Structure 1
Amino acid sequence: MSTSINYEDKIPNNVDLSSDRRLQRALEGWQPKFMNWWGEMGPALETHGVYLRTAVSVGRDGWAHFDHVNVPDYRWGIFLAEPKADRRIAFGEHKGQPVWQQVPGEYRADLQRLIVIQGDTEPASVEQQKLLGLTAPSLYDLRNLFQVNVEEGRHLWAMVYLLHAYFGREGREEAEALLVRNSGSPDSPRILGAFNEETADWLAFYMFTYFTDRDGKYQLGTLKESAFDPLSRTCEFMLKEEAHHMFVGTTGVDRVVTRSAQLIREHDTLDIGKHGGIPLDIIQKYINFHYTVSLDLFGSETSTNAANYFTAGLKGRWMEERRKDDHQLTEHGIQLDRPNADGTWTNDELSALLALNLDLRGEYISDCQSGIKRWNKIMADAELDFRFALPHVGFNRHVGMHAGFHITPDGSIVDEATWQKGRKKWLPTSEDLAFVRSLMHPVYERGKIASWVAPPTNGINNKPFDYEYVYFH
């Protein structure tokens, strides 16, 4: 199979789509519905050319081409990473057997559900970010927003291809439903809670691409291990694209923190709101909110579903093949702190097989710490003694064993009155959100940037910051 992508077809692909006329017709029938969805739910800001990267190859090097593209003309397509010769199942009860090229009947429903849930998150974030272009702080940021949006659109295509190619009529119906549900809709919301939250300002966008897209990285990483080879190869290529989305989040928060530090030094006060900057305590509250909403995406600490998916070979652990154990987990344990109604904590031992969500969440949390370290280094370099922190894993949780408890950012279990009193110190208030929104004035001039964020250290694809990333006429 070729590693390059065929752009001659109506739907660009590297899966030899034209050799399966029925599948090609079905996907060509879905395409106008996707374009209608994009027109209705995609970016509200009209542009005449955005400097976007388009995948041209799935190989190790040189996989992207950069040029100005009119966003609705972007060539969304179906790209799977190269197959690995003689790939074997790395975990679970089928460990050592050849991977599957077709869906085994007994796992059909479970695999379909995993693909639908992953697929549902992709268009959701485009919907959440629909209005952000209207308040972009610079052309560079506007370009990054559109890059994230078109790639989330392509990730939707990736999952829709699997549904159409391997799940028959039910798969086709699920592919239709992915365009019917909408983020925040009262009647047909997206499946997962975080994808129904509003992303109303650019600080929220940076936090979303840092914390929530990072959850996406870990979920895709577990599916990349799947014994169902087409899913594995699809996720492997999606991870390449996802890396840029997290880069947008990491450097976005870096730049907000940098600018806030500059304003604090310049005006010798932490109260930088009146000087057009975002105060550090508001940044911390945004961290608290987006991190905890993203933790909920990992599900319950103990999960028989996750255990069954692992045993069946459908979904592995992060970096499964690098783990130094039997990859079956029948005799392994894991420690867990459980909250009690009397305000104390109990340490339990769980079977590792039942605690796979906890294992994945642990990997995610240590990755999130790397951002906190970066932002604290910016504070230290500016000789400011403020430090950011991730709140306790039980804080502000609505899923799993911490839901229903009132846990402070430092991990104390308190009563509801104490929690409600502290809440405005810990989570963004309506006043905080209104203040951040008040700073969101669009800056569409080349080389100019909004007051509340520092320019990036580098442009995109070796272009300078003041390059014309977006054409408006």
Structure 2
Amino acid sequence: MSTINYSEKIPNNVNLGEDRTLQRALEGWQPNFINWWDDVGPEGSTNHEVYLRTAVSVDPQGWAQFGHVKMRDYRWGIFLNPGDANREVHFGDHKGEKVWQDVPGEHRANLRRIIVTQGDTEPASVEQQRHLGLTAPSMYDLRNLFQINVEEGRHLWAMVYLLQKHFGRDGREEADALLQRTSGDANNPRILGAFNEKTPDWLAFFMFTYFTDRDGKFQLAALAESAFDPLARTTKFMLTEEAHHMFVGESGVSRVIARTAQVMNELKTDDAQKIRAAGCIDLGTIQRYLNFHYSVTIDLFGADQSSNAAIFYSSGLKGRYEEGKRDDDHVLKGQTYKVLEVKDGQLVEKDVPMLNALNEVLRDDFIKDSVAGVGRWNKVLEKAGIPTRLVVPHKAFNRQIGALAGIKMSPEGRVVNDIEWAAKRDEWLPSSEDFAFVASLMGRVIEPGKFAGWISPPVMGINRQPVDFEYVRFG
């Protein structure tokens, strides 16, 4: 097998070239990664040269460079944020101790599970988005899709590095398994439910990158607090790239809304069928897509009460979002937090030990952040003089995990019976007709500067390039 020149092929700041054991492990894994990319990565893109951002260092001033590159030749770098020799564990039972550079034996299984679960989401979203390039609404959007795809691939490399560097044979086996599971596969699916859902169209893609990549932001931020220093430093750097994924989602939905509002004003109507006949996505459909992606994503935070969450926190493995900014003892023993349950057909709050409710704490942080972005979408409608407003559904709506799983709940937070749920389901969640309609709009537009009729152009291009720049060169 040919030896990889790590300084050229894989930009890194972890001295890959000096670790022969790790080199051999990565040399064994890299061809399997490329095979995976060819098999289930972006369809029909092998010869495209894409204007991509490539991470080259952790220097905030010049951490990435831009240029046209074939995705298959992308330099999947491995970067850890700079270390701090004096860094201490700042939460849990080990608070005040030095952070760990190696995996403590007693935490090995839990750390491996955390890294594998995070690592599994990265290739999953590439698989879910595999066909989207064939229906891109513009060359600009196609480039953004491909940028997200290669960065999810790089995040997979980052997790595989941790597994292979710190977990021996177990880590090598887990790294191989990350390429063997496939999103939506009946026999060997991805670990988390949301990553087995289809991403059938670009509205779903924008909602996914707005909501589900935002879950990634909160999970990575919680792991960036970890007492296992290599994990903390790795996830801290991943957050730098995650911001663009959420930008693609937020700006994408915003541009869909802007175009719909424009057509509503031109036609002087809010009639969904007339909006659809004009080739735009009506606000009701946008709301139903929002309801679905939001509810599926908040399930990703796990059960509202979790002994694992308590163990991860007390052990120092996973903190809270912005742990250092919180004004408490960072140990949390004896503290409580409110969670929801249904009692006698009504939603009620109850106090539970905060350590067991840390999934709910992170979910509530996510909800607050998500609501702010939906508010920015509503400003687009407000500016256009459209009175309709988008809203996030109630936290208990359409839940499949935790105490609220399977409870029939309206988006407003009212417990409903099976009959009402069946009658209203297609008002609240996308119907087969909605999916078919949105799919009917998904024609490919790839001439520079041209955009599909259902979405507005962006305000500016990527990296100060014009909107009509040749972001993708088709080989």
Q: CA deviation at 1:8?
A: 3.0
5+ residue gaps in structure 1? 1-5
Distance 2:376 2:191 in 1: 33
Q: Is the 8 A contact 1:89 1:96 kept in 2?
A: yes
Check conservation: 2:92, 2:316, Cα contact below 8 A: yes
> 1:300 aligned to 300, 303, 321, which one?
303
- Superposed CA RMSD in Å reads 1.0
Which residue of 1 is the match for residue 21 of structure 2? 22
Q: CA deviation at 1:337?
A: 2.8
Name the TM-score, length of structure 1 as normaliser: 0.97
- Aligned twin of 1:104: 104
- Asked if the contact 2:378/2:390 (under 8 Å) is kept, the reply is yes
Q: CA deviation at 1:216?
A: 0.5
Instruction: Please give the secondary structure, in 1, of the residue aligned with 2:340.
Output: strand
**Structure 2 counterpart of 1:3:** none
Residue 434 of structure 1 corresponds to 436
Deviations 1:44-75 (A, max 9, x none): 03243100000111122211100000111111
**Equivalent in the alignment of 1:462:** 464
TM-score normalized with structure 2 length: 0.97
> 1:401-431 deviations in whole A, cap 9, x for unaligned?
1112101101011111111111010000000
Q: What is the DSSP-based 3-state SS (H/G/I as helix, E as strand, rest coil) of the residue aligned with 2:352? A: strand
**Residue in structure 1 matching 2:389, options 383, 387, 390:** 387
Distance 2:373 2:8 in 1: 41
| Counterpart for residue 405 of structure 1 | 407
State the Cα distance separating 1:9 from its structure 2 match. 4.2
Quote the Cα distance in structure 1 between the aligned partners of 2:130 and 2:281. Answer: 23
What is the number of equivalent residue pairs in this alignment?
Answer: 467
C-alpha distance in 2 between matches for 1:375 and 1:348: 33
CA contact (8 A) 1:338 1:345 kept: yes
Q: For residues 165-176 of structure 1, what are the structure 2 equivalents within 5 Å?
A: 165-176=165-176
Structure 2 distance, partners of 1:444, 1:108, is 48
Deviation per CA, 1:170-192, whole angstroms, max 9, x where unpaired?
Answer: 11000000000000001100000
Deviations along 1:171-224, one digit per CA (max 9) or x if unpaired, are: 100000000000000110000000000001000000000000000000001100
CA contact (8 A) 1:59 1:82 kept: no
2:40 aligns with: 41
What does the per-residue CA deviation read over 1:2-47, in whole Å, with 9 as the maximum and x for residues that have no partner?
xxxx963443321001111111111111000000000001000324
How far off is 1:95 after superposition? 0.2
Is the contact between residue 343 and residue 412 of structure 1 (CA under 8 Å) also seen in structure 2? Answer: no
Contact 1:227–1:313 (8 Å) recurs in 2: yes
Give the alignment of 1:59-458 within 5 angstroms: 59-270=59-270, 271=272, 272-340=275-343, 342-458=344-460
Question: Alpha-carbon deviations, 1:301-320, whole Å to 9, x = none?
Answer: 01100000000000000001
Contact 1:91 1:328 in 2 (8 A): yes
Summarize deviations over 1:132-152 as a string: whole Å, max 9, x none.
Answer: 000000000000000000000
2: CA distance, partners of 1:139 / 1:347: 48
Percent sequence identity is: 59
Give the secondary structure class of the aligned counterpart of 2:394.
Answer: coil
Deviating more after overlay: 40-49 vs 185-194: 40-49
1:76 CA displacement:
0.7
Query: Deviation of residue 336 (structure 1)?
Result: 2.3
Question: Hey, what's the Cα distance between the residues in 2 that align with 1:371 and 1:280?
Answer: 16
Q: Give the distance between the partners of 1:139 and 1:98, measured in 2 at CA.
A: 49
Displacement of 1:330: 0.4
The range that moved more, 6-15 or 264-273, is 6-15
Q: Is the 8 A contact 1:124 1:182 kept in 2?
A: yes
Matched to 2:412, the amino acid is D
Query: Could you tell me whether the CA contact under 8 Å between 1:49 and 1:470 is conserved in 2?
Result: yes
1:447 and 1:69 mapped to 2: Cα distance? 20
CA-CA distance at 1:367 after TM superposition = 0.3
Q: Residue type matched to 2:432 in 1?
A: S
